[in-house]
């Protein structure tokens, strides 16, 4: 192996996941109540250490799968957190990622096993280390990116209604949207496909179900279309 870098310090590197969901009109976040040290009994993000055998992205996917049982999930790196004493137990760098998952699909037994619970983003308990800072940053980046790329759909089931979609964007932005203006914008988004089916869970009348057609979004993007909601 290489000799050039022999004299440089080496570091523990962790990966922490901000796992977002969407439930009953609220943006939610998956946290674990630690049944291990350090900070036993406190709330934190799900994390894990990077191994030599994997890339950082792979580590993030592994950590997410350990807790939820899910793979092929939309994830984005937020950044590295590297203050000297961010973890008082030892010097650890942490790479934070956020993940967007459909809350109908995670593995409930794994969640129980890890002592994990969903929290509404505005009813979070205090978190260890700099995890609250990570969450804040994740939210900022999610808000920005969701406004300009169709990533919000990862938080919804495959079929969703327009009231459902609007509630999602209201939760992400933390502000109310005008129904008619919202739907007008949606009309101009040609990769949302209306089906004949209705969802009757939230009203007697029922609302039409739509699907997001990724392939046709990619095609439109090539042609210079830019998403905005």
Kindly give, in sequence order, each residue whose CB lies less than 8 Å from that of residue 154, ignoring residues fewer than 6 positions away: 73, 74, 100, 101, 102
Q: How is residue 152 annotated by DSSP? A: G
CB 27 to a copy of itself: min, Å: 23
For residues 28 and 102, give the distance between their C-alpha atoms in angstroms, rounded to a whole number: 11
Which one of 50-58, 119-127, 154-162, 206-214 is the stretch in contact with a copy of itself (CB under 8 A)?
50-58
Q: Counting contacts by CB under 8 A, is residue 128 touching a copy of itself?
A: no
Report if residue 204 touches a copy of itself, rule: CB under 8 A. no
Decide if residue 143 touches DNA (CB under 7 A): no
**Contact by Cβ (8 Å): 28, 18:** no
- Give yes or no for a contact between 156 and 150, defined as CB atoms under 8 angstroms apart: no
Closest residue by Cα to residue 69 from 102, 28, 108: 108
Residue 202 contact, options a copy of itself, DNA, none, Cβ 5-8 Å cut-off depending on partner type: DNA
Q: Which residues pair with residue 125 across a beta bridge?
A: none
Please state, as a whole number, how many other Cβ atoms lie within 10 Å of the Cβ of residue 37. 8
Binding mask 42-71 for DNA (x = CB under 7 A): ------------------------------
In the bound complex, what is the minimum distance in angstroms from residue 12's beta carbon to a copy of itself?
6
Six token digits for residue 172: 């992400």
Asked if 228 is part of the footprint of DNA (rule: CB under 7 A), the reply reads yes
151 binds a copy of itself (CB under 8 A): no
Q: Are 168 and 26 in contact (CB under 8 A)?
A: no
> Binding string, 18-37, against a copy of itself, x = CB under 8 A?
------------------xx
Residue 161 contacts by C-beta under 8 Å, 6 or more apart in sequence? 199, 202, 207, 208, 209, 210
* 181 interacts with DNA by CB under 7 A: yes
> Of 91-99, 120-128, 152-160, 195-203, which part binds a copy of itself (CB under 8 A)?
91-99
Q: How far apart are CA 34 and CA 153, in angstroms?
A: 30
Identify residues 151-180 at the interface with DNA (CB under 7 A).
161-163, 178-180
Residues that bind a copy of itself (CB under 8 A): 1-2, 4-5, 8-13, 36-38, 49-57, 59, 77, 79-80, 82-84, 89-93, 95
């Amino acid at each position: 192996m290489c000799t050039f870098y022999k004299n440089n310090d080496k570091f523990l590197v962790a990966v922490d996941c901000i796992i977002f969901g969407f439930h009953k009109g609220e943006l939610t976040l998956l946290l674990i109540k630690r049944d291990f040290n350090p900070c036993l009994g406190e709330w934190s993000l799900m994390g894990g250490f990077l191994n030599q055998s994997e890339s950082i992205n792979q580590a993030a996917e592994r950590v997410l799968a350990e807790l939820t049982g899910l793979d092929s999930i939309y994830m984005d790196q937020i950044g590295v957190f590297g203050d000297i004493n961010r973890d008082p137990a030892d010097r650890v760098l942490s790479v934070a990622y956020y993940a967007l998952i459909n809350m109908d699909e995670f593995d409930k037994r794994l969640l129980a096993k890890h002592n994990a619970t969903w929290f509404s983003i505005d009813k979070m308990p205090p978190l260890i280390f700099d995890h609250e800072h990570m969450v804040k940053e994740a939210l900022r980046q999610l808000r920005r990116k969701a406004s300009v790329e169709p990533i919000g759909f990862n938080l919804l089931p495959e079929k969703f209604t327009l009231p459902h979609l609007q509630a999602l964007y209201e939760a992400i932005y933390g502000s109310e949207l005008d129904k008619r203006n919202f739907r007008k914008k949606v009309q101009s988004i040609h990769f949302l496909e209306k089906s004949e089916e209705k969802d009757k869970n939230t009203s007697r009348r029922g609302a039409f179900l739509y699907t997001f057609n990724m392939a046709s979004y990619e095609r439109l993007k090539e042609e210079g279309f830019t998403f905005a909601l």
